[in-house]
Structure 1
């Protein structure tokens, strides 16, 4: 399972998620019993098996949004059950994904090296959708839309005041890949140029002809906070887990700093992206 892939099972270690799904299940059960409907009959009305109804009511299964809409209609809940979809959608993403978004929202410095795709914080919704839809085996359309929404929601970091300092290093090859078609690709390049031009953003491109490359172990993200704390994660170090130990942080900071030194300077990077746009 990828880090952003949603699940219909409740993570037992996610206390907030467990509480949300338990509350939703309890509300469904109370509403069902209040109208005198058996679980089997209710299941037939919403298109679910009796066993799955009991799992949802018992807080063991995360309900789909269409289930909550249908349940709201069948049980005459007046919008109460449908209104729970927003919190339920958040639970479907692993706790570490929600924690990452929360940390990004609090960080005063964010540094990202992305090797295979355009960094998620820079993606347009259309580009994000094309990238997610390319996965195999494919996600359902419902899953795709939720994953796109989660990715775009993280981009609120660009609207913060005071603004955090952000730096990005992107590989040239993914920037040249017309993912989603020419129009989606052009809009993505324009978005990268737009964000790269912000005063609090430093954007660099790692050219494909670079003979020495310290980013071959994969993606890196560094987060620093105003109280002096820092957290970092790399696909190719420490089993991909987030670290805050000073020795481990120094390793990832050194790696990220070296990558930045090897990449094109910011102005040359933006000029290269403008050149890509001109070639389309």
Structure 2
């Protein structure tokens, strides 16, 4: 399989190489056809089936067409509703294997950072425009890749989403690294992907903020000062190695290893945390926004 460019936080990447995604694409189409056949044998329309499993009709349609990766929860619900006799549950494991096989190298400009992130014992992130990549829901990440210009093929979008979700495995690793994020309030109001995707992302922020060992703070828009209006950045400490900074712009990223530059980013991040809402007030703000929707 040719290299799939996973992209940085925004989903941007340099011009694509020719990609052979047929193996994963054909597999997703086959799973979709299985679900459609079982649904029709059960005498259910897409709308009826969607209601039974608790998902939208449009998502069911996309899964049946092989355009969306069915998650384990959907397959388990489908197994129950369609009485698939274990077929769809077995498919869930096969999908995970296929996604793992499809995960290939990140673009060259993002690769060095990704390797450091995978072995991080400490990671701090200031995000001014988008939800941080490690906190993005699958639907939010998919929306970012689908809105990219030039337009990406649906198969390519799915592979890139899988690559991003794979990065998030470090959040579940134990012993847990030290994580903190400061996110601009504007990110909470930017409904990328639409209201449903937006709500899911807000719920994800709330989940992370309530997780032991993870700190999420929101930078309010009414602050008269902001220590980093110049853009987003990260500070990452790999195991047994010095702390490194990382900044990203469009189709390029830069690791910052100079001690003085890293020190300045640390100072800037400390100021951002002091300017932002406290972790508890940040969660209260998100809960309030969710209650209004």
Asked if Structure 1 and Structure 2 have the same fold, meaning a TM-score greater than 0.5 normalized by the shorter chain, the answer is: yes
Pairs aligned (count)? 213
Task: State the 1:153 CA deviation.
Answer: 1.0
Q: 2:21 aligns to what?
A: 65
Task: State the 1:6 CA deviation.
Answer: 6.5
Equivalent runs, 1:207-226 vs 2, <5 Å: 207-226=220-239
Residues 1:189 and 2:145 aligned together: no
In 2 relative to 1, CA 244–178 (structure 1 residues): closer, same or farther, beyond 3 Å?
Answer: same
**Deviation string, structure 1 residues 80-133 (Cα, Å, up to 9, x no partner):** xxx999667514x31343332321121111000111111111111001111221
**Deviation string, structure 1 residues 135-162 (Cα, Å, up to 9, x no partner):** 2232221221122111111111111110
In 2 relative to 1, CA 89–275 (structure 1 residues): closer, same or farther, beyond 3 Å?
Answer: same
Q: Give structure 2 stretches of 5+ with no counterpart.
A: 27-96
Pairing partner for 1:128 from 141, 148, 170: 141
Q: 2:86 aligns to what?
A: none
Equivalent runs, 1:60-99 vs 2, <5 Å: 63-66=19-22, 89-91=103-105, 93-99=106-112
Which has the higher mean CA deviation after the structures are superposed, 139-148 or 239-248? 239-248
In 2 relative to 1, CA 152–6 (structure 1 residues): closer, same or farther, beyond 3 Å?
Answer: farther
TM-score, with normalisation over the residues of structure 1? 0.68
TM-score, with normalisation over the residues of structure 2? 0.66
Residues 1:141 and 2:179 aligned together: no
Over the aligned positions, Cα root-mean-square deviation in angstroms equals: 2.7
Cα distance in 1 for partners of 2:102, 2:133 equals 23
In 2 relative to 1, CA 228–84 (structure 1 residues): closer, same or farther, beyond 3 Å?
Answer: closer
Task: State the 1:251 CA deviation.
Answer: 1.3
Q: Is the 8 A contact 1:170 1:206 kept in 2?
A: yes
Q: Which runs of 4+ in 1 moved over 3 A?
A: 1-4, 6-9, 67-70, 83-89
Q: 2:181 aligns to what?
A: 168
Q: 1:244 aligns to what?
A: 257
Cα distance in 1 for partners of 2:281, 2:171 equals 23
In 2 relative to 1, CA 108–86 (structure 1 residues): closer, same or farther, beyond 3 Å?
Answer: closer
Cα distance in 2 for partners of 1:110, 1:244 equals 15
Cα distance in 2 for partners of 1:8, 1:89 equals 16
Q: Is the 8 A contact 1:234 1:252 kept in 2?
A: no
Higher relative contact order (CA 8 A, sep 6+): 2
